[in-house]
Structure 1
Amino acid sequence: MRSDFQGRHALVTGGGRGIGRAIASSLKDAGARVTILGRDRAALDRAVSEGGAHRGLTADVTDAASVRAAMSEAAASDGPIDFLIANAGAAVSAPFSRSGEDVFRRMIDVNFMGSVHAAQAALEPMTKRGFGRIVAIASTAGLKGYPYVSAYCASKHAVVGFVRSLALETARTGVTVNAVCPGFAETDLVEESLDRIVSKTGRSREEALSELVRHNPQGRLIRPDEVAGTVLWLCGDAAASVTGQAIAVAGGEI
């Protein structure tokens, strides 16, 4: 499989931590040249210095011009982008009655438009070369509903719909477009969710964790490397006929 990645350039948005960092590290270990994008310069530098990527560039995925400029710089430095992993995301938890327009717009801007901006910057060069892999990191929240995260669910459903549509447009171009949909995973976002549950409900951290993992029939959080392994397969030659899919990595939840 390593030959599938030698001489290829991968770019991972939100690659400085969590699932994005695990994906970047897996792609690098497989032989790809890896650029990570994010807003946190310190996290990007740390990931690069610890061997998780070759290069880190700052960009705000909600700003199309920022994404395009960073991706152009990455391509100029390390060659055209062969693998785009649109991973950057955010989550907000609140009852719908307290989820104003600003909450919905923030979730759409980061989770959905962040994926759109990255794909728009990467797609034309991919189709001209006749090769590319676009993988959006969605969520099981893009395949089902959860209470108290209506804005987040709406944004992730939008990502899955976008992937399925773009895959049909690009089916004859050599570019595949897929989504990976993790359940609750061992990430900073989930740690923050646990903190909120503890502070709002008075439950212990163990009780809060049990509340999250009850959705997973395996009774555990998903490991970032499990998500990375799925992404790696989708980027490899063996998955050339796999496009328009939303693959759940969720212990049987979906």
Structure 2
Amino acid sequence: MLSGKRALVFAADERLAESVARHLGRLGAQVWVSGLDTEAVEALAEKVNADGGEAHPATVDPTDPHHVREYVAAVAAKGPVDVCFNGFELPAHSSGVGVPYRDLDPAVLTEALGEVIGAQFLTAREAARVMVPAGRGSIITVASTNGSSGRPHTGALGAVAGALEALARSMATEYGPSGVRVNHVRATRLSTGPMYYENALGRPVTLDEVAGTVAWLSSDVSGGVTGQVIEVSGGEHGLSEAVAARGPRRERHVELDLP
């Protein structure tokens, strides 16, 4: 499915990116895994290689423009870059989750937007820089379902997720004529504990299921798909949860004077 493809996986020291890297490797892609935790990235490369894949580890800060550009250029100098995925995650403890917006420090919101959007934008832009001349490539961004669910008390998570979806769509329009596809994966909260929200499957979505979707978007099988937000949530009904969280509804009666 991905034989001969060369893939960049940023923030590979995060859980989802690790699963993505292993999926891509099993499907035949050569994977360049990078992150800030050198030991974790090197351990991941060993796992990919043990699975029969081919992985090349590197220590890269996805929020550093110069570092990202130099790294992508170095990989591209050895051959085409076909896939770019960034699994950079925003820690819940630093995103204001659980704090009502009336009490949220504005700095939490602006810093989170700058850090996550900055990292996703940088890696996507630098990948596109080397993909456009080749006339092909697939860029995949990822965030939670908070960008569309309307859940309360999500701090910066909803704003970040919504912004990333918009970024992916705009990049897809800009790079589409050059043969470069850009899509966004809207992933549910990945939990091994009891679900406290509804979904159609009645169970949590797994890391491997999200990673499998990324692998599909990385392949030529999805060649006609760009500018899309692909939700992997098991059929989550986030809005109903958000409404339920408000408590008992107050009855309202509105008279309409219709002709």
Same fold (TM over 0.5): yes
Say yes or no: does 1:236 pair with 2:241: no
Alignment of 1:76-95 (within 5 A): 76=77, 78-91=78-91, 92=95, 93-95=97-99
Alignment of 1:5-24 (within 5 A): 5-24=2-21
Report how many aligned residue pairs link the two structures. 228
2:249 is aligned to none
The structure with the larger Rg is: 2
1:29 is aligned to 26
Name the CA distance, whole Å, in 2 between partners of 1:226 and 1:8.
21
Q: 1 or 2, which has the higher helix percentage?
A: 1
2:240 is aligned to none
Give the SS at the match of 1:220.
Answer: coil
Name the CA distance, whole Å, in 2 between partners of 1:226 and 1:155.
22
Name the CA distance, whole Å, in 1 between partners of 2:103 and 2:66.
32
Name the CA distance, whole Å, in 2 between partners of 1:38 and 1:210.
30
1:219 to partner: Cα distance: 3.1
1:66 is aligned to 67
1:240 to partner: Cα distance: 1.0
1:134 is aligned to 139
1:253 is aligned to 236
**Which shows bigger deviation, 166-175 or 129-138?**
166-175
1:247 to partner: Cα distance: 0.5
Per-residue CA deviations over 1:86-124 (Å, capped at 9, x if unaligned) read 221213224123432331133213321111000111112
2:43 to 46, 70, 88: 46
Say yes or no: does 1:183 pair with 2:151: no
2:125 to 120, 125, 149: 120
Q: Do 1:99 and 1:151's aligned partners in 2 also have CA atoms closer than 8 Å? A: no
Give the SS at the match of 2:170.
Answer: helix
Call closer, same or farther: CA 1:210–1:241 in 2, change over 3 Å. Answer: closer
1:33 to partner: Cα distance: 0.7
Give the SS at the match of 1:178.
Answer: strand
Structure 1: 5+ residue stretches without partners: 192-205
Name the CA distance, whole Å, in 1 between partners of 2:128 and 2:216.
20
Give the SS at the match of 1:138.
Answer: strand
Q: Do 1:134 and 1:178's aligned partners in 2 also have CA atoms closer than 8 Å? A: yes
Give the SS at the match of 1:150.
Answer: coil
Give the SS at the match of 2:21.
Answer: helix
TM-score, length of structure 2 as denominator length: 0.81
1:142 to partner: Cα distance: 2.3
